[in-house]
């Protein structure tokens, strides 16, 4: 809680209203409401480009207790559109922190609301499903807010990856000593995904979302990575076309989250909007190849259609979600390509799924 707080209003598209207190920037913001069940890692969540366009409810009662640190980020800025919490703390106790959460959110112009009954709100979103919402600490009249909210497009059908992709190619790792070169299609990649590949001996070159296959080939990569990112994968014809071209190369290819959905679409498998998405650090997934269960970090609002996966003769299901049986991983039978719906880089954790980076880099080395 902050000392000088203005009131703020949260309005959901179904008319639900919650009154709370302003935190961060004073203003108005709108986007898709989502909840994250993680108890820690808030700065990594706020800077994850896959959350672009979304307003996040943090389930943990206290958010901000360990402040913020310049290095605890998944991209170069806060990407969430707004924040809803029970209690946002401006005091912090971590010695190594650089700033309070409040300063961080203000510096990043994020409109937030706190003192919300997040248990009731999350239960409501879980039952009613994904929808848009608006937060304001400047317009407190609900009828006015309804008019503003009506202007916001639905996440279904929205292409957002090109807004968060890099403008220019950049590299990570040491080309002189690296064992392999990986071309990354950046649809909103998380920094720690790149780090996981570099840590395993890769030199990565990150390319803007609309890079053509001929530009990618000039880099002569040993493998390709299709990144995570925001928005509806079915609205990304340009990316599906690129993934199809990449697959023709028959080089090892790995996709995470949006990258998984694009790999599916490139193999004529449909994607669909989930009822309320999977976002948190404790989603159980079964690896059907090894029979082992892993606890995973997730952040997605779309999924791969199980019926069309089963019909695709060249695709094998490798991972399933143990909560709802949704498809969590696939691999192609005729190409060295695989993908997962969840986030194996998982910062701050759990790290059960990091073996997938070993698998990918080993596959790249074998095919080199």
Ligand X SMILES: NC(=O)CC[C@H](N)C(=O)O
Residues in contact with ligand X by the rule CB under 6 A: 50, 228-231, 257-258, 299-302
Is 257 an active-site residue? yes
Please indicate if the annotation marks 299 as binding a ligand: yes
Select from 193, 184, 192 the least CA-distant residue to 165: 184
Q: What is the DSSP secondary-structure string of 280-325?
A: EEEEEEEETTT--EEEEEEEEEEEE-HHHHHH-TTEEEEEEETTT-
| Buried/exposed code over 29-65 (b: 16+ C-beta within 10 A; e: otherwise) | bbbbbbbbbbeebbbbbbbbbbbbbbbbbbbbeebbb
Select from 158, 120, 147, 156 the least CA-distant residue to 13: 147
Give dist(CA 31, CA 323) in Å, integer: 27
29 versus 36: smaller Cβ distance to ligand X = 36
24 versus 230: smaller Cβ distance to ligand X = 230
Please indicate if the annotation marks 301 as binding a ligand: yes
Select from 303, 301, 292 the least CA-distant residue to 352: 292
Please indicate if the annotation marks 201 as binding a ligand: no
Give dist(CA 116, CA 131) in Å, integer: 18
CB of 180 to ligand X, least distance (A): 24
CB of 257 to ligand X, least distance (A): 3
Cβ neighbors of 215 (< 8 A, separation 6 or more) are: 207
225 versus 302: smaller Cβ distance to ligand X = 302
CB of 266 to ligand X, least distance (A): 15
Please indicate if the annotation marks 229 as binding a ligand: yes
Q: What are the φ/ψ torsions at residue 79 (nearest 5 degrees)? A: -110, -20
Please indicate if the annotation marks 259 as binding a ligand: no
CB of 308 to ligand X, least distance (A): 16
Joined tokens for residue 78? 């806060």
Is 343 an active-site residue? yes
Q: What are the φ/ψ torsions at residue 301 (nearest 5 degrees)? A: -115, -5
3-state secondary structure of 147: helix
Residue 117, number of CB atoms within 10 A of its CB = 12
Confirm if 124 and 118 have CB atoms less than 8 A apart. Answer: no
First-last CA distance in the chain? 55
CB of 199 to ligand X, least distance (A): 21
Is 345 an active-site residue? yes
Please indicate if the annotation marks 36 as binding a ligand: no
32 versus 89: smaller Cβ distance to ligand X = 32
Instruction: Give me the catalytic one of 257, 260, 276, 283.
Output: 257
257 versus 320: smaller Cβ distance to ligand X = 257
Tally of residues, the chain: 368
CB of 82 to ligand X, least distance (A): 17
Residue numbers in the known binding site are 50, 229, 231, 258, 261, 299, 301-302
Residue numbers in the known binding site for L-glutamine are 50, 229, 231, 258, 261, 299, 301-302
What is the set of active-site residues? 257, 343, 345
């Amino acid at each position: 809680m902050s000392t000088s707080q203005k009131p703020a209003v949260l309005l959901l598209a179904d008319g639900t209203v919650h009154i709370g207190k302003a935190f961060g920037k004073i203003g108005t913001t709108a986007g898709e409401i989502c909840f994250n069940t993680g108890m820690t890692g808030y700065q990594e969540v706020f800077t994850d480009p896959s959350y672009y366009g979304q307003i996040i409810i943090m389930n943990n009662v206290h958010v901000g207790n360990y402040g913020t640190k310049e290095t605890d980020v998944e991209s170069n800025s806060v990407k969430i559109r707004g924040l809803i919490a029970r209690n946002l703390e401006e005091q912090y106790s971590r010695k190594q922190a650089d700033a309070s959460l409040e300063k961080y959110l203000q510096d990043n112009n994020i409109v937030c609301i706190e003192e919300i009954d997040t248990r009731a709100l999350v239960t409501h979103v879980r039952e009613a499903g994904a929808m848009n919402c608006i937060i304001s600490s400047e317009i407190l009249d609900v009828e006015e807010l309804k008019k503003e909210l009506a202007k916001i497009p639905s996440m279904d059908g929205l292409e957002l990856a090109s807004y968060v992709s890099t403008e220019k190619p950049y590299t990570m790792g040491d080309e002189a000593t690296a064992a392999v070169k990986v071309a990354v299609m950046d649809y909103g990649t998380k920094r720690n995904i790149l780090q996981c590949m570099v840590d395993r001996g890769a030199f990565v070159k990150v390319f803007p979302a609309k890079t053509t296959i001929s530009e990618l080939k000039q880099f002569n990569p040993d493998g390709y990575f299709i990144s995570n990112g925001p928005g509806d994968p079915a609205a990304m014809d340009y990316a599906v076309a690129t993934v199809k071209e990449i697959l023709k190369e028959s080089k090892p290819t790995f996709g995470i989250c949006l990258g998984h959905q694009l790999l599916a679409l490139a193999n004529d498998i449909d994607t669909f909007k989930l009822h309320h998405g999977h976002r948190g650090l404790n989603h159980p997934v079964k690896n059907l190849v090894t029979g082992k269960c892993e606890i995973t970090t997730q952040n997605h609002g779309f999924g791969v259609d199980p019926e069309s996966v089963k019909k695709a003769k060249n695709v094998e299901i490798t991972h399933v979600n143990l909560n709802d049986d949704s498809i969590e991983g696939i691999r192609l039978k005729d190409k060295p390509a695989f993908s997962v719906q969840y986030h194996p880089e998982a910062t701050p954790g759990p790290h059960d799924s990091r073996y997938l980076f070993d698998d990918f880099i080993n596959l790249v080395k074998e095919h080199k």
